[in-house]
Chain A
Amino acid sequence: METVLIVIVILLLALFGSPLFAIIGTIALLAFHSAGIDMSAVIVELNRLANTPTLIAIPLFTFAGYILAESKSPQRIVGLARALFGWFPGGLAIVSLVSCAIFTAFTGASGVTIIALGGLLYPILLKENYPEKFSLGLMTTSGSLGLLFPPSLPIILYGLVAKISIDKLFVAGFIPGMLLLIFLSIYSVRHGIKSEIPKIQFTFKNVFEAVKNSAWEIPLPFIVIGGIYGGLFTVTEAAAITAFYVVVVEVFIYRDLTLFKDVPKIMHESMVLVGAILIILGTALGLTNYLIDAEVPMKLFTYIQELITSKILFLILLNIFLLIVGMMMDIFSATIVVVPLIIPIALAYGVDPVHLGIIFLVNLEIGYVTPPVGLNLFISSYRFQKPISEIYTSTLPFILIRLIILILVTYIPQLSLFLVNLLGIE
Chain B
Amino acid sequence: MNFLLRISNKVSNAEKTLAIFLLGLMILLSFLQVVLRNIFSTGILWIDPLLRNFVLWIAFLGASLATHNEKNINVDIFSRFLPERWKHFTKTVIYIFAALVSFYLLKASITFLLDEYESETILFTIGQVNIFSWWMQIIVPIGFGMMLFRFLLFALQYFIKAVFPQTTKVVS
Contact = CB atoms under 8 A, between A and B. Distances in A.
Interface in A1-60: 13-22, 25-26, 29, 38-40, 42-44, 46-47, 49-53, 55-56, 58-60
Contacts of B34: 233, 237, 240-241
Counting chain A CB atoms within 10 Å of each CB, which of B48, B77, B79 scores highest? Answer: B77
A389 B158 CA distance: 31
Contacts, number: 199
B52 A51 contact: yes
Interface stretch (A92-100, A194-202, A209-217, A264-272): A264-272
A278 B62 contact: yes
Range of interface residues on B (Cβ < 8 Å) = 35 or more
Residue of A29, A43, A63 with most partner-chain B CB within 10 A: A43
Contact of B55 (A21, A276, A278): A278
Nearest to A246: B27
A319 B79 CA distance: 27
Interface in B61-83: 61-67, 69, 71-79
Contacts of A157: none
Contacts of A58: 55
Interface stretch (B3-11, B97-105, B160-168): B97-105
Nearest to A280: B73
Nearest to B28: A244
A372 to B, nearest CB: 10
Contact of B72 (A19, A43, A51, A59): A19
Interface string A224-246: 00000000010011011101100
Nearest to A41: B108
A16 B76 contact: yes
B51 interface: yes
23 contacts: A13-B93, A15-B75, A16-B76, A16-B78, A18-B97, A20-B72, A21-B63, A39-B104, A44-B112, A50-B55, A50-B136, A52-B55, A58-B55, A59-B55, A233-B34, A237-B34, A240-B34, A244-B28, A247-B27, A264-B20, A271-B61, A332-B73, A333-B73
Given A50-B52, A271-B62, 19 more contacts: A13-B93, A14-B75, A17-B74, A17-B75, A17-B79, A18-B97, A20-B75, A22-B98, A40-B112, A42-B108, A50-B136, A59-B23, A271-B61, A271-B65, A272-B65, A273-B66, A275-B58, A278-B55, A283-B105
